[in-house]
Chains A and B, each alone.
Chain A
Amino acid sequence: MGKYVIKRVLLAAVTLWLVATITFALMNLVPGGPFLSEKTPSEATLKALNEKYGLDQPLIVQYKNYMQKAIQGDFGPSLKQRGRMVKQIITTGFKVSARVGGLSILIAALIGVPLGSVAALNRGKWIDNVIIVFTTSGIAVPSFVVSTVLMLVFSIMLGWLPTYGLSSPLHYIMPVAALALYPTSYIARLMRSSMLEVLGQDYMRTAKAKGLSQFAILFKHALRNAILPIITYLGPLIAYTLTGSFVVEKIFTIPGLGSDFISSIINRDYTLIMGTTIFLAFLLITMNLVVDIAYKIVDPRIKLK
């Protein structure tokens, strides 16, 4: 176990370093710089700006300086949003994204698990078919389609829900629903197939034979075993919610981390690109790591390699 964890943590660290290095290289390969937008400043100003942020030094020196600071958690100031530190932008953005994303993951689990179980228990009946159709289409519809159609129906046609911002609980309904549809469907499908597998196991027959109640069989034996594969999906799920949030945040004008990331790339805000990429990559890699290790702890049948 210890060896496995160490191996995985090392791999994660290498990956994170690789992502940071690739990002640094790619970012500097793109022509143009953070200060070369519509209004090109004078030669002197440009020189002063580059000097101030250390952009006049050779790339390799910049890379070394940046990495040294980044390891200590210092991501420097934003180049475009004057007077704001990258760390500060990330924290405010992440708070917003995490609230929307967390809510949708919670809702996806709360709806997806029962939905999949109901489908499995009623295999072949109409309710199973309805759930299959719903979840299959839920996987096929991209989040930007869901968001825009929701907006079209509930804000523009019916006028019930506000279209942008996050100032009241009502504002959360559409973004969360749009983000939750795909994971809900995916969890329900996974749950259905894993539940079907569990229902066919010998220990289910044993439980029935020793006279346990329907309730005990279902909740103590079937559900607890069937829910295990869902845990492995939590890592990719968090990744999905983050990427989905790029789109959903754009559509509903939510000031989250996704919109920070996209605008930083378009604005060539070097420090913000590095900061958001490293932060998001760190988040995703750690989540995957935690999920994988948790899975092995929860299910002792899985051999550690």
Chain B
Amino acid sequence: MTDKKKPLSFQLDVSDFLPAEQEEKQSLVVMRKSVSFWKDGLRRFSRNTIAMISLVAIILIMIFAFVVPYFYPYSYEQQIRGSENLAPMQYSQQELELKENGESVFPHILGTDSLGRDTMIRLMMGSRVSLLVGIVASILVLLIGSTYGAIAGYFGGKVDLIMMRLVDIIYTVPDILIIILLMVTLKYPLQELAYSSPAFEWINTVGVGLICIFIVFALLYWVGMARIVRSQILSLKEQEFVTAARALGASHGRIIRKHLLTNCMGTLIVTTTLQIPSSIFTESFLSFIGIGVAAPMPSLGSMASTAIDGIVSYPYRLLAPAIMISLIILSFNLIGDGLRDAFDPKLKN
């Protein structure tokens, strides 16, 4: 009777008026063990099937990107002569001969590129770059944005006015234009720095392109976080526990760290998680137009970009990076949505 309900009708649903079952009654009993914020949130999060599946997917991708390469017989920059342009699971002439001699040759699961590099390992390294960029950039954004926002919100008044005006300006700056310009500009001083002083040699190990991306994202993306944290702090600082802490003689720093920031933990977690996919998005975009991570280090964006040149002859080369990048971004988005529902229901919309 009620199943043909019109979307706008206010017809009552009979099933809403059935007597409550034992289980439902149980859930209303107040005398259960008190649950901490974390436990409550985690419990809600783990009930969210889609978010859990995404979490598993991300963990698998992380293993794929960070662990598997150590056991993989090929390296991402190794050019195997005579094995250029192999199709997935295909062996080159030499490798076939080796196999006939009884030696075992690891198959090129996704084939090789025009320089004879194994696509599978490049895909792993590309995913590693994407994950690194997403996570490191988001942590930087978290650190800068939450400190800045907390200081502005806590002190209020003129401090807030001046600090937030700066945020407003950075917020209106068209980020992608400045990101592209900064990427091109930063490369040279960083390279020089890496060669000139031994203390900065680590820049070369991580890769100049990656460092550039971290710096640029940290410089531009913290403003969103700062705004959110500030608005939370503004309402939190009026509450009694802050007055109590102040009465007990706590310093400003301690109040901000121990009382205010811990109270907006939910927002911090959710905003940071949702920052990850957008950083990955921008990185792949930059690498695609050719100014992201420098060769020979692969990135999913640059792999897709090179695949386009040979798209007529080797269309399958495009699919692996394309699917991988979409999968990573989708999973992080879904985890972020799940965390938001679990920890910070107010943030919805």
Contact = CB atoms under 8 A, between A and B. Distances in A.
Interface of A: 11-12, 14-15, 18-19, 22-23, 26-27, 29-31, 121-123, 136-137, 139-145, 148-149, 151-152, 156-157, 193-194, 197, 199, 204-205, 208, 214, 217-218, 222, 239, 242-243, 246-247, 250-251, 261-262, 265-266, 273, 277, 280-281, 284-285, 288
A142 B279 CA distance: 12
Given A239-B174, A280-B177, A149 B318 contact: yes
Contacts of A251: 308
A15 B189 CA distance: 26
Contacts of A145: 304, 322, 325-326
Contacts of B329: 140-142
A140 B177 contact: no
B312 interface: yes
B8 to A, nearest CB: 6
13 contacts: A26-B182, A27-B181, A30-B185, A136-B333, A136-B334, A139-B333, A142-B325, A144-B288, A152-B311, A152-B318, A194-B349, A208-B9, A280-B174
Nearest to A207: B8
B284 A144 contact: yes
A21 B69 CA distance: 44
Given A11-B168, A11-B169, A142 B180 contact: no
B98 interface: no
B311 A156 contact: yes
B312 A288 contact: no
Contacts of B330: 136-137, 140-141
B307 interface: yes
B176 A243 contact: yes
Contacts of A265: 180-181, 184, 291
Given A31-B188, A243-B285, 6 more contacts: A18-B173, A22-B178, A26-B182, A142-B329, A145-B304, A280-B177
B contacts with A: majority SS? helix
Given A26-B182, A281-B177, A156 B172 contact: no
A277 B285 contact: no
Contact of A141 (B7, B188, B288, B326): B326
Contact of A247 (B9, B169, B285, B333): B285
A271 B102 CA distance: 64
Interface of B: 6-10, 165, 168-169, 172-174, 176-178, 180-182, 184-185, 188-189, 277, 281, 284-285, 288-291, 301, 304-305, 307-308, 311-312, 315, 318-319, 322, 325-326, 329-330, 333-334, 348-349
A116 B280 CA distance: 27
A192 to B, nearest CB: 10
Contacts of B185: 26-27, 29-30
Contacts of B281: 142
A18 B181 CA distance: 14
A12 B285 contact: no
Contacts of B182: 26
Contact of B322 (A30, A149, A266): A149
Contacts of A31: 188
B32 to A, nearest CB: 29
Contacts of A157: 315
B174 A284 contact: yes
A278 to B, nearest CB: 10
A92 B283 CA distance: 29
A139 B329 CA distance: 9
Contacts of A11: 165, 168-169, 172
A19 B178 CA distance: 8
B140 to A, nearest CB: 20
Nearest to B282: A243
A247 B304 CA distance: 12
Contact of A137 (B8, B181, B322, B326): B326
A191 to B, nearest CB: 12
Given A137-B326, A148-B311, A251-B308, A12 B172 contact: yes
A208 B10 contact: yes
A184 B44 CA distance: 30
A239 B173 CA distance: 11
Closest 6 CB pairs of A and B: A140-B330, A121-B7, A145-B322, A140-B329, A243-B176, A284-B174
B7 A144 contact: no
Nearest to B333: A140
Contact of B349 (A193, A222, A266): A193
A208 to B, nearest CB: 6
B181 A277 contact: yes
Contacts of B311: 148, 151-152, 156
Contacts of B6: 214
Contacts of A14: 169
A140 B289 contact: no
B315 A152 contact: yes
A288 B172 contact: yes
Contacts of B168: 11
A15 B301 contact: no
